[in-house]
Amino acid sequence: MNGILPLYKPRGMTSHDCDAQLRRLFHTRRVGHGGTLDPNVDGVLPICIGTATKVVDYLVAGGKTYQGEVTLGFATTTEDLDGEVVEKTPLTAGFSTAQIDAQMQTFIGTITQIPPMFSAVKVKGRRLYDYARAGETVERPQRQVTLTDFKRLNEPEFDAVAGTQKFRFEVSCSKGTYVRTLAVDLGRKLGVAAVMSALTRVQSGGFTLADTIDLDTVAKLSAEDKLATILRPMETALSAYPQVELTAEQWAKVQNGAFLPRAELTQLDEVIALVYDQKIKALYRPHPEYPHLFQPVKMFLANE
């Protein structure tokens, strides 16, 4: 079986845990997820099965949307509630909605982030979380990410006894964005410690929460030999690319990785999806040195 499974990942499991269960249920080693979720984050986790693993990179490249909660007043080692409290800035009064919204708007666009120490980013061949667990410090690389939306979803709740304030938010962002760090940086702009206190991914790879299927349902369908009914076509991950239908003659050339004349394909100056027999067979792009030709980017010849 080949296709994409829009899985609902529960909290308490790693993305690799989900892969392992699906390898067993689908009886294949060819399983890969698009966009890792931390164990304490739930939500949309697209899983590629069989030959669809060829499009994992394209699932990861797409934007994602999260809904979560920020708590102002303290910070932790992990930037979420899993870590130990390392800083407290008790609030004597809550911030106004205008103050919070104004600072959230400053994150829209391209921003620079420094990944948290408890993350899987590699520095000198080791994961940052390995350094953190060993009590070691290391300079972390900066990264550029893009936010297209960052907004508050409810009225902030101020707790005078705890000295904290919390509110829910939604953010739409590019791959590689650390939402934990976003929550911490928002607190920093407000002048207080902050932590991400909850997070759910509600959209990824073109799938929403409404599209997802939980592991219990997958196991039930596996026992009934009905797994094929829940797989989405591989083409779902490539829907953003303009499609061009190939002739039989062109398809024969594409199978050998041949360049194709632009005039035969399209007037577009971007990556295009080549379709034959109602299936995407390859991605082609303009040749950087010979603009009158299109060259292969990715082949999907096994998608028969």
SS3 for 193-255 is: CEEEEEEEEEEECCEEHHHCECHHHHHHHHHCCCHHHHCECHHHHHCCCCEEECCHHHHHHHC
Residue identified by tokens 């991950």 is 237
Residue from 144, 74, 146 nearest 115 by CA: 144
Reply yes or no on whether 38 is catalytic.
Answer: yes
Q: What's the chain's length in residues?
A: 304
Q: First CA to last CA across the chain, in angstroms?
A: 11
Tell me the backbone φ, ψ of residue 130, rounded to 5 degrees.
-70, -40
Rounded Cα distance between 191 and 92, Å, is: 13
Query: In this structure, what DSSP letter does residue 21 have?
Result: H
Q: Which residue is catalytic, options 19, 38, 149, 159?
A: 38
Active site residues: 38
